[in-house]
Amino acid sequence: MFTSVKAFEGQQYSTLKRQCLQSGLLFEDPRFPATDDSLFYQGNRIGRVVWKRPRELCEDPHLFVDGISAHDLHQGQLGNCWFVAACSSLASRESLWQKVIPDWKEQEWDSEKPDSYAGIFHFRFWRFGEWVDVVIDDRLPTVDNQLVYCHSDDSNEFWSALVEKAYAKVYGCYEALDGGNTADALVDFTGGVSEPVDLLEGQMATDEAARNQLFERVLKVHNRDGLISCSIRATTVEDMEARLDCGLVKGHAYAVTDVRKVRLGHGLLAFFKSEKLHMIRMRNPWGEKEWSGPWSDSSEEWNKVSKSEREKLGVTVQDDGEFWMTFDDFCQYFTDLILCRLINTSYLSIHKTWEEEVMRGSWVHRQDPLRNRSGGCINHKATFLQNPQYVFDVKKVEDEVLICLQQKEKRATPKEGKGENLAIGFDIHRVELNRKYRMHSAQQKVAGSIYINSRCVFLRKELKEGRYVIIPTTFDPGQQGDFLLRVFTDVPSDCKELTLDEPPQTCWTGMCGYPQLVTQVHVLNAEGLQGQDSNGDPYVIITCEGERVRSPVHKDTRCPNFDIKGVFYRKKPKDGIHVEIYNKNVIVDTFLGQVTLFSDPNERQEQHTLHLRDKGSRQDNDLPGTLTVRLITSTTLTNI
């Protein structure tokens, strides 16, 4: 199920369980003891807590009673609705919860083999690029013989309480889960990528076209086993967990448990009727306090739907925290949506397969500008390009690219106290097609993420064919930390870090020479290319000292806007740079003309509009058509 799983804090579940069975003693976790230190980092605020094992709370404990569902979760005395909402989403996906709760049949209590029980459990979470296996004992915090934190409707069902304990162990203590981000928990349960959607910024309540487009995206994520959460933003402290007249709660995370297109009508009329209602189902982690508007549990609107359709939707008339509403009403009231996509990288799948590149890096502050890797965001122009840089290629005419930047968790542990995450983000620059050394001057910025102190920052962007550089940064310069960069494309992107500032000196440098000049060639456009009456499919080849850069083909045009760049480290500055234009044909490509460029080392930047010529011809044998080219030249190799 996992390519590799790392034992959290070095604790091996199978080894520890075997030792307990051999000794006849129930497991007591020394790394997460049954003390107040495992509960709080700011001090006890709930009174005397007694840690009890499930057999001390009921006669017949089980991990699951009648399977696993979102109704198994109730929040308890901790402000971790974000975590419980994520668990509710997880419970609806068997393939996912079996990853988080591995070997669940083997971990279940067996009344026929009581001697096989050792009081030990293990759960798995995806943390900073790898799955970790977290071992816990089964001692749970109680007050007055009742579980303090997450619990199930059934008093003898314990999976939710045990998963919560394992997650609290990862964070250092239970109190560290008080307030958090649902997106983080969704990623920890799946290894997926969370995309936040601001419904206010997207004007989803008023823009019907955008709303319908979003619904299709939400439906696709749901149908492909992604996890979804939502909330209503609280703007003041008083707003937190304030209940609206419609029954919804502000500043509170809800789990999305279903997304459907619901047929209206009854019998054959409903079957042949094309009208379908966009519907979404949510669950309040409190297990109560539901939406009371149209299509709520006891709403008359349900009479518009056949009995069989209601049964398929699982409509119940009870205050269990789960309810349906139209997507229109959803966009009217909710402000934030989190889509956790499961990024499919399996070639055996019938669904879209993504190519994933994973890069690990660090922001490290050093005094030397060429070695500093903590330059801050683009506002700090003097140091911005001193950050880590990663190059990748888009090899299709246009490709949807998903980029996720994750920083190493800096939240609370009992000993270190509560830390704050760094404000992080990234920019994407379109660069020369042959760039292989670090950027030292800003180029064309084509996209950028927001900067926020959350654990993950995500961007989805359509990019044209070409080469790009991602620059992940902290908002302020001089800040240090580790990060994980994930890049998803339709075809392999060959993503890698740019580590060298200029061509390296080798033992052959004295004999073969070393670059004296660096020139960036920017082919802007061409006009009036020769050819037949019909449009052509031109492309450009730039050649300098044996190195060639070829542009993508531009379809059906005689006046292409090439907008491509090449960068050349030149040992022979007096030699020209050749730019050739060809027309793409099935058998043999047609030569359309060329120009030869001679850059002036004393001229930092120059732009030329030149007439195309035959190969080897003189200036007076011009061909129809012109080419516009810009050169940027420097004798200092780390200036471009």
What's the distance, CA 441 to chain centroid? 28
Q: Residue 568: what are its φ and ψ, rounded to 5°? A: -130, 130
C-alpha to C-alpha distance for 407 and 452, rounded to whole angstroms = 11
Total-model pTM:
0.88
**For 32-36, 112-116, 245-249, which range has the lowest pLDDT when averaged over its residues?**
112-116
- Choice among 80, 181, 284, 583 that is catalytic: 284
Q: How far apart (Å, rounded) are the C-alpha atoms in residues 463 and 429?
A: 11
Tell whether the model's pLDDT for residue 102 goes beyond 50.
yes
pLDDT confidence band for 2 (50 / 70 / 90): very low
* Vertex 569: Cα angle to 563 and 572 (nearest 5): 115
d(CA 629, CA 532): 25
Among 147, 157, 160, 165, which residue's Cα sits nearest to residue 8?
Answer: 165
Note the pLDDT of residue 78: 82
The shares of helix, strand and coil residues in the chain, as percent rounded to the nearest 5, are: 20, 35, 45
* Statement: residue 414 has pLDDT above 50: no
Q: Is the dihedral of CA 521, 527, 528, 531 positive or negative?
A: positive
Six token digits for residue 260: 């459907």
- Tell me the pairing of strands 130-137 and 253-263: unpaired
**pLDDT of 633 higher than 80:** yes
Rounded Cα–Cα distance for residues 223 and 80 (Å)? 27
| The pLDDT of residue 158 is above 90 | yes
Q: Which residue has the higher pLDDT, 189 or 624?
A: 189
Q: Nearest 10 degrees: CA dihedral of 531, 536, 542, 543?
A: -60
Cβ neighbors of 620 (< 8 A, separation 6 or more) are none
**Are 594 and 572 a contacting pair, CB within 8 Å?**
no
DSSP H or E segment with residue 632: strand 622-634
Task: Kindly name the residue from 71, 74, 252, 440 that is annotated as catalytic.
Answer: 252
Within 70-109, residue ranges assigned H as helices are 81-91, 94-100, 104-107
DSSP state of 373: B
Considering only CA atoms, which of 419, 421, 482 is closest in space to residue 454? 421
Three-class DSSP category at 470? strand
At 565 the pLDDT is 96
Please report the pLDDT score of residue 345 as a whole number. 66
Question: Residue 418 has what pLDDT?
Answer: 57
How many Cα neighbours within 13 Å face the side chain of 482?
A: 8
**Structure confidence at residue 313 (pLDDT):** 76
- Burial (CB count <10 Å: 0-12, 13-18, 19+), residue 83: buried
Instruction: Centre a 10 Å sphere on the Cβ of residue 272 and count the other Cβ atoms it contains.
Output: 9
Q: Is the pLDDT of residue 53 over 80?
A: yes
What number is the average pLDDT over the span 7-26? Answer: 95
Q: How confident is the model at residue 316, as a pLDDT?
A: 64
Encoded amino acid at 69, one letter: S
Residues in the chain: 640
Tell me the DSSP string of 243-280. BPTTS-BTT-EEEEEEEEEEEPBSHHHHHH---EEEEE
pLDDT higher than threshold 50 for residue 81: yes
Give the per-residue pLDDT at 112. 79
User: By CB neighbour count within 10 A (0-12 exposed, 13-18 middle, 19+ buried), where does 512 fall?
Assistant: exposed
| Ordered strands of the 50-52 beta sheet | 50-52, 140-143, 146-147
Q: Which of 182-196, 294-308, 311-325, 519-533 has the lowest mean pLDDT?
A: 311-325
Nearest CA among 336, 209, 213 for reference residue 282: 336
Examine the pLDDT at 349 and tell me if it is beyond 70: no
Residues 57/59/60/64 CA torsion (nearest 10 deg): -20
Sign of CA pseudo-dihedral 329, 334, 336, 338:
negative
Distance separating alpha carbons of residues 295 and 274, to the nearest angstrom:
20
> Sorting pLDDT into bands at 50, 70 and 90, what band is 4?
confident
pLDDT at 578: 94
pLDDT at 268 over 60: no
Rounded to whole angstroms, the Cα distance separating 631 from 517 reads 12
Could you say which DSSP state residue 368 is in? S
Q: What is the mean pLDDT of the chain?
A: 88
Active site annotation includes 554: no
Region 415-422 average pLDDT: 68
Our answer to whether residue 377 is catalytic in this structure is no
DSSP for 177-219, please give it.
GSS--HHHHHHHHHS-EEEEEETTTTTTTT-HHHHHHHHHHHH
Cα–Cα distance measured from residue 79 to residue 45, given in angstroms and rounded to the nearest whole number: 13
CA-based end-to-end distance of the chain: 46
Residues 363 and 374: beta-carbon distance below 8 Å: yes
pLDDT score of 74: 81
Q: What's the confidence (pLDDT) of residue 65?
A: 87
590 Cβ contact partners less than 8 Å away, ≥ 6 residues apart: 531, 536, 582, 583
Question: At residue 417, does pLDDT exceed 70?
Answer: no
Q: Return the half-sphere exposure (C-beta side, CA atoms, 13 A cut-off) of residue 151.
A: 18
Report, as an integer, the average pLDDT of 423-446.
96
Question: What mean pLDDT is predicted for residues 551-576?
Answer: 92
Check if 252 is active-site.
Answer: yes
Among the residues of 53-133, which ranges form H helices?
A: 54-57, 81-91, 94-100, 104-107
Q: Which of 578, 546, 570 is nearest to 634 (CA)?
A: 570
| Per-residue model confidence (pLDDT) at position 351 | 65
Contact 132, 170 (CB under 8 A): yes
Span 52-61, mean pLDDT?
93
Type of residue at 354: W
| pLDDT recorded at residue 350 | 61
Options 20, 74, 80, 81, the catalytic residue: 81
What's the alpha-carbon Rg for the chain, to the nearest Å?
A: 30
Rounded mean pLDDT of 534-542? Answer: 89
* Predicted local confidence at residue 1, as pLDDT: 40
Rounded to whole angstroms, the Cα distance separating 185 from 447 reads: 27
